[in-house]
Amino acid sequence: MVRALYPGSFDPVTFGHLDLVERALRLFDSVTVAAAENIAKQPVFTLAERLELLRAVLPARVQVVTFRGLVVDYCRAHGFDVIVRGLRTMSDFEYEYQMALTNRHLNPAVETVFVMPNLQFSYVSSSLIKDVVRNGGDVSTYLPPPVEKALRAKLSS
């Protein structure tokens, strides 16, 4: 059984993230989404809020967890074989390629698999969506309704 971990900040979780999860579910026996507790970033949503939103919009067969530290260490400790990463642009590739090679050096037993999103999500980022919401724009094609509602509430306060 091949177990895959899809790590990220998911601040907020978008239809692009959900698209990658659906693609990963077709490739692997088990997919777990892991929200990073990254003190270097200043997320809009707390870790608990991100976990709640992920659970609200992901298929029931996808487990949602949180992690801190190196993703390869989490994979080793919890028996994951694959790290799933999305590639939207060439700049994503450069960063993700470096990360994948570093992870391979740190834990050769874990493979990184890059998945390309549906074309309609290839330019969408959580940062861009937050900017659009801050400026009153429509993000309904990028966010599940509960996530959009929560993001608007957060950014309007």
Domain spans in the chain, listed from the N-terminal domain onward: 3-156
Instruction: Count CA atoms closer than 13 A to 149's CA, side-chain side.
Output: 6
CA angle, 111 then 77 then 79, to 5°: 50
Answer yes or no: are the C-beta atoms of 21 and 33 closer than 8 Å. yes
Could you tell me the pLDDT band of residue 39, with boundaries at 50, 70 and 90? low
Could you tell me the pLDDT band of residue 90, with boundaries at 50, 70 and 90? confident
Which of 40-54, 60-74, 82-96 comes out lowest in average pLDDT?
82-96
Residue 30 known to be catalytic = no
pLDDT at 38 over 90: no
pLDDT at 92 over 90: no
Which DSSP state fits 81? -
Q: Which of 23, 30, 126, 130 is catalytic?
A: 126
* Calpha distance 42→92 (Å, rounded): 20
Residue 130 known to be catalytic = no
| Residue linked to tokens 């969408």 | 124
Residue 156 known to be catalytic = no
Phi, psi of 132 (to 5 degrees): -65, -45
Q: Which of 3, 76, 88, 104 is catalytic?
A: 88
Query: What is the chain's mean pLDDT, rounded?
Result: 93
Beta bridge pairs of residue 20:
none
Percent of the chain with pLDDT over 70: 99
Closest CA to 56 of 143, 122, 121: 143
Which of 45-54, 105-114, 125-134 comes out lowest in average pLDDT?
125-134
Homologous superfamily, domain 3-156: HUPs (3.40.50.620)
* Calpha distance 157→148 (Å, rounded): 14
Q: Which of 17, 23, 85, 130 is catalytic?
A: 17
pLDDT at 157 over 70: no
Q: Which of 26, 41, 61, 105 is catalytic?
A: 41
